[in-house]
Amino acid sequence: MGADTTPEPYRWRWLILVVMVVAEIMDLLDASIVNVAGPALEESLGAGSVGLQWVIGGYALTLGAGLVLGGRLGDRYGRRRMFLIGLAAFTASSLLCALAPNVESLIAFRLLQGTAGAMLLPQGLGLLRENFSGPELTKVFAIFGPVLGLGGIIGPVLGGFLIEGDFFGLGWRSVFVINLPIGIAASIVATKFVPRKAGDRTVRVDVVGAALVVVSCALLVLPLNQGQDDGWPLWTWLCMTASVIGFVLFAVQQRRTAATGREPLVTPGLLRKPAFTVGLGGIALFFGGLIGTQLVLTLFLQIGRHFTAGEAGLGNLPLAVGTAIGGAVSGAFLADRIGRKVLQIGPLVQLVGAAVLWFELDGLDAASFPIWDIVPGVAVAGVGAGMVIAALFSFILAAVDDDEIGSASGVLSAVQAIGGSIGVAIFGSVFFARAETGDFTGGFHRALIVQACLLVAFLAVTFLLPKKGRPDEEQHGITPEAASVDSDTKHDLTV
C-alpha cells in the first residue's frame, strides 16, 4: 500500500476566518455607527440635516456603487492583494474622518471610506473559498453569514457607547478612531497568514460599466438628499430622470460588452430573469425602509427627546434583539417549512410593529419619556425584519443559474447598500421636514407611513419570487457535489 500523498490542509486557515470576520464587520458597522452622532456633529462641525444625511448615506452610496467592481478587481489582481489594499485604505480613510475639520471634508472622507470598503468587502467570501473546502467550507459560511448580518444592526449601539464614553476626549471622532487598531492588527495578521494566490490577469475590468453605475447612483442620491432643503427645484427632477436613463444605459452596455466577447461587470443573463430583477427592487424597497426607519428612530430619540448618544444607542437595542430573534426563527424553522411565505409573514409582522409604535408615540408624555414606552413596537418590527433578512437572498438567488451565483450575490449586496443610502435620504428628508417645525412625533409618524408603503410594495414583490430558496451553502457558490467532498482532499496553499 503506497504512502498517503494527500497534502495537509493549510494550518492557519481558521485564523483567516477570524481576520475576515473582524475586518468585514468593521466595514459593515461603519454604515450605521454614526447614526447616533447627529447632535455631536452639529455642535462640533455645524452639520445640518443635509450634511448629516450625506455623512451617513454617502458611505453606503460609494460602498454599494463600487462593490461589483471591487469583486472584479479581486478576480484580476488577487483577492489577498485587494483585501490588503482595501483594508489599508479603509483604515487610512477612517483616520481622515476622525481628523475632519469641517462637515464638508468629513463627507468627502466618508465617500472615500465607502470606496475603500467596496474594495475590501467582496474579497472575504472569495478568500474563504480559496482556503476552505468541503464540509469545513459549509461550516465557515454558517458562521460568517449570521455574524455579518448583525454587523450593521448593532452599529448605533456601539456608536452610542463610544460617543457617550467620550474616551480620551474624542467624542464622535472615536467611532472612526476605533477602526485604527483593528485595521492595523487585521492587516498584520492577514499579511502574515493569508496565503498568496495570483489573480487572473486575463480578467478584464469593465471601467465604462463601473463609471455608469457610480454616476447613476450619484444622480439619484444627490437630489434625494438636497431636494427637501432646496425646495425640490427643477434640477432635482432632471437628475433623477438622468439616473434612470443611466441605469438603462448600464443594462444595454453590459449586454453589448458580453456580446463582443468581453467580460461585463454583471452577467447579462441575470437581467433577463424577471424574478431576479424584481428581487432587486424588493431588496431596495426592504433595506431602504429598514435603514431609513432605524435612522429616524435614532434622530427622534436624540433630537426630539434629548437622549444622549449612549441612550439613543441603547434605544436601538430592541431592534437588534428583535432582528436576531426573527432571523433565528426564520432560518431554523420557517424558511424550509413554509418557503416563500416567510417573506410575506415578515413584512406583515413589521407592519404590526409599525402600527404599535404609532400608537405608542401618540401616548407619549411630553415631559418624560422612558425608552420602555416604545420597546414593544420597535422589537416586534425587528422580529419581522429579521425574518426577511435571514431568507431574502436565498429566495432571489433561487432564480439564477449555478454559474451566475457569484455575480448575482455581488449585485444583490450592491443594491442592498444603495437601497440603504436612498432610505437615509428619503426618510431623513421626511423626518426633518416636520422636525424643523418642532413636530418630532409628526416626523416619526410620516416616516412610519413611508415605511408602510414600502413594506406593502415589498409584500407584492414577494409573490413573484421562487417558492423555495437555495440552501445556505449554495448561496456562497458551494455546489452539492463540492459540499460532499471529504476534507482530506483539501490542497495546502504556500505562503
Domains of the chain: which residue ranges? 12-193, 207-264, 267-479
* pLDDT score at 149: 63
pLDDT confidence of residue 3: 52
Decide: 137 and 9 in contact? Cβ < 8 Å. no
128-155 residue pLDDT tens: 888 887 777 777 777 776 676 666 677 8
Q: Given this chain, do its domains 12-193 and 267-479 carry the same CATH topology?
A: yes
Q: Write down the CATH number for the domain with range 12-193.
A: 1.20.1250.20
Residue type, 127: L
Distance CA 474, CA 169 (A): 47
- Residue 459 pLDDT level (bands cut at 50, 70, 90): very high
pLDDT attached to residue 331: 74
pTM of the model: 0.87
Instruction: Give the dihedral sign, CA 416/421/424/425.
Output: negative
The highest-level CATH class for domain 267-479 is mainly alpha
What is the band of 6 on the pLDDT scale with cuts at 50, 70, 90? low
| Residue of 401, 398, 490 whose CA lies nearest to 131 | 490
With a CB cutoff of 8 Å and minimum separation 6, the contacts of 432 are 49, 228, 443
What is the reported pLDDT for 116? 95
